[in-house]
Structure formats: C-alpha cells, structure tokens
Amino acid sequence: MQLQFENCGSASGVSQGTINGVSAFESCLMPQTTCPQLACNMQTEHSYADLPSTLFELCTPTPVGAPSWLAFNHPLAAELGFDPALAETDAGLQLLSGNQVAAWSNPLAQAYSGHQFGHLSPRLGDGRALLLAEIIDQQQQRRDIQLKGAGPTPYSRRGDGRSALGPVIREYLVSEAMFALGVPTSRALAAVITGETVYRDQPKPGGILTRVAASHIRIGTFQFASMLKDGGTAQHDSSLKSLADYVIKRHYPECVHAEQPYLALLNSVIQAQAALVAQWMSLGFIHGVMNTDNMSISGETIDYGPCAFIDQFDPDTVFSSIDQHGRYAYRNQPMIAQWNLARLAEALLPLLADAETDAVALATTALNQFPELYYQAWQDRMSAKLGLSSSAAAKTLAEQLLQLLAANKVDFTIFFRTLAFALSDVSAVKGPATLFTDQQGWLVWAAQWQQQLSGEPAAIQHSMNAVNPFFIPRNHQIELIISQVTEQGDLTLFQQFARDLSSPFTENADNQRWAAAAPPSDLPYRTFCGT
C-alpha cells in the first residue's frame, strides 16, 4: 500500500535543484512506502487536515541515505503510546528518518506568515518540517508529532528542507531540559543522524529531529489566514474563523461559552505568553529569535534556534549572530512578546467586532493587560527564587538584585542556587558572597532580603532549591557535546547529559560537571540559526 498525495503541487518557493538526483518538487510528490508493521498503542488523528486547504500542503518526507540513531526518548514514547521497541528496530529508524511513512501518518506542511526581526514575510510555512499526525496521548491530550529536517516542502523557498546535526542536538537537549525545568515546551521524541551532508557556511552532517508539541500553530498562522486572497477576493473570513474555532476547541475550550469567544481567545493567548516569558526571564533563558512565526498559540516554547542561557548576568545579552541590533535581547523579551501579540490581535480584528473601530478598541484593551499579567507572573517567579512568601515584596528586591548582578558580572544560575546558603550567614563560604567584587553592595542587599524572610531556614532552603536549578544546559557544554558528536562521532557526552538533564534541581555526584560556569575564554558566546 502506498500513500499518494495529488495536491502537494504548489511549487511556489520550492527549490528547482536536485537532491539525490530528484528535484525538490518531485521528491515532495513522490509516494512513500508505508510501514504498517510498526507496533504502537497510540491513537492518531488528523484534525488539522480538516481545516481549509489554504492552511497547509500535503507532502511526503524525502528519504535519506544512511540513517542511524542518535537518541530515542523512552519516557516520552511511553506517554504517547509508542512501542519502546521502535528504538531498537530498523522499522522505527526508517519511520523517524522519513524513509517510510507509517499507515497512521498523513504528512503535511503548515502554512504561516511571520514578522522576522520586525519585517513581514507573507508566505513562510514549514520549509523543513512535516506534521506526521496528531497523537492522543495516555492522558487523552492531543499532541503533534513532527519531523524537522525531513526534506523540501512547497514552503522551502529554494532551501533543501534539511537540518544540520548540530541544531538537532541543541534542540533535543535544550527542549528536554526546559521540560525538566517546568517550562511549557515542545519536546524531543527522537533524533536521527541522516548519513548525508548538508551545506550551510560549510559542509555539515545532517540530522532529523522528531518533535512533539501541543500544536505547531503560531501567531504567524493567524497572520497568514488573515491575509488570504483568491482571485482578488478576500478569503480570510472563512479560513480565519475556521482556524480560530479550531484553536479554541483544541487549546482553549473554556472560550467556547464566553460571550465573545474570539476576544476570550485573544485574552487566553496573552495570559499564556505572559506566563511563559516570565518563566524564561526567571531562568535567564534567551529564545534568540522571537519572530511571530516562532511564537506558539498554545503558550509553549518552540523553535530552539539561536537560543541560550545567560552566564554572567547582563540584561542586554544577545546570543544570536543575526540579531545585530539587539531586538531579542534578554531585557527586550517581554516587550517583544507584547509586540507579537499585537500582530495576533490585528489578525483577529475581523472576528472581534463588525465595526473596525470597535474591534480595535477591544484588542487594545486586551493588549494593555499584558504588562500587568507579565509583571505579576515575574514577581511570583522571583518571589519563589528568593524564598519569599510575598510576591509584592519581591519586586523591589529583585530589581535591585539584578542591577547588582549585572554590575558585578555574577553568574545568574550559580547565584540563585547558592543564595540559600546565605539564609543565616551572608558571608557563608559556599554562599553567593564570594561571587561579588562589591562586597558592601552585596551585604546591604542581603540584609534587606533577610528582613523579608519568614519561616524555618530549612523549609525556605528546600523551597528555593526546588525552583533554582543546580544546573542548566550551559552554552559551552552544549557546544562541546555538538563537537564531539559531529566531529568525532562520539555520543558519550551527549548520552550522559541527556540522562542527567531530567533532574536539574537535584545535586549529585553525576551532575557536578554540568554546574560549572563557563570559562572566560568561552565568553562572549554566540549562537547561529540552524537553517
């Protein structure tokens, strides 16, 4: 039995070059053999394919030459109902490398627009990713399963649709670490080494990531739907309403019974994004490329391209090599989130009210809630990190502290993890006192902090250690892991970190190495987009 997709054919933006002797457009059209023998207990559906066809293109993966396993996430597989034997069989490898299409799969590439560094690109879409299916997991939650790096699609815009292995390693490890840190995020089910070379600034080994997410619907998806036209006649009303109804049903079902469901949807996404970015900020995480096509409607972190964690604290930190003007710097992330949400509100205007002036007023009121929602979520996070029972008391203390950390170039993660040692002695040898050159500044702040504490020191320390990680995916360590895998073929360090990252708040003998600060020679750090 073979899957054949006749309407994959809009060739706009698809590379006319060849891959393994086959044109990119032809490879998208090529039928793939199904793999019915794959054993699994999962329930799959394809509800996204019921939306207007303007929002996606059916397309099959492009086979790779010599795939091999890099990683398989057994706990996540169990949640999804996958047979664990997939990690140990050639059948599983062929499926997750895109060489075969399972009988339960109906691959498609999603369409979306996006403001990239503030400039609108009307037609983007999944240029190197394919949604295989939606899985109803063991908790009856609907989750997308997607191949990233599976070859060209109608949205590839002259690209090869592939991913270098380095970005696959980064996303696998960082997304799983974010999950362990309690941050809403897409997750990594598997990673495959393709056995083929991709060409970027230089030849690099290729990889494919199997990504799982609540969905891959983005702010840019709504932007795309709002701009659709056919023969000069606007078609956005149908596509936009269908998309909004779908998102409400899938992600925010409480909005169905609201007096104004689409306004309730906007408010729900604003709340989710405010909470998400507050978590990023509390961990020193920098997404790196907060374009509207990289911001999920569900409130999950997706698209781990030039992401990284702050080492020495500086609110102006930028890691991405392409962010030359600091648009997505650490300090700017809340502001950019609100800017992106304004683009979502613009897309939703036709659904908010019949009169545009009324719709704009409703959207403006909704957007104006963001600062308060964000700062409340941020205060709650900082209060927990500081061991305080009142988030109101945390605001001034946290702001003063961040200024002190920046002035003294203190490591963000190490400071908060060691802060609990100063509960009774601000000069404790293991405490943060040793991190400051301005000892007087530290002592003044620490005295103010201690005055706000209430409760037993042991209980406070326990609560602080539950939210302040002992280690994070250190940038220099991720680079070392990538280097060992891609240049030496050595998976040892990758496997060790993948094992340890599931418990980032627990200090033990095995994870001491991951807690070390970056050596001065590795600063400043730069990341590069994986496309």
3-state DSSP percent of the chain in helix, strand and coil, to 5: 45, 15, 40
Distance CA 341, CA 270 (A): 7
Tell me if residue 54 falls in helix, strand or coil: helix
Torsion of CA 84, 89, 94, 95, to 10 degrees: -20
How many CA atoms are closer than 13 Å to the CA of 46, on its beta-carbon side?
Answer: 16
Residue 185: phi and psi, rounded to 5, are -160, 155
* 70 vs 311: CA distance, rounded Å: 28
Q: Which residues are catalytic?
A: 293
Contact in structure between 111 and 57 (CB atoms under 8 Å): yes
Rounded to whole angstroms, what are the CA distances from 134 to 143, 254, 346, 526?
Answer: 5, 21, 29, 35
Residue 458 CB neighbour total at 10 angstroms: 10
Residues with Cβ within 8 Å of residue 307, at least 6 apart in sequence: 170, 174, 285, 286, 287, 288, 289, 319, 527
How far apart CA 28 and CA 101 sit, in angstroms, is 13
User: In this structure, is the dihedral angle defined by the CA atoms of residues 381, 384, 389 and 392, taken in order, positive or negative?
Assistant: negative
- CB 329, CB 205: distance < 8 Å: no
HSE (side-chain half, CA atoms, 13 Å) at 62: 30
157: left (phi over 0), alpha (psi -120 to 50) or beta: left
Contacts of 51 (CB under 8 A, 6+ apart): 239, 242, 243, 246
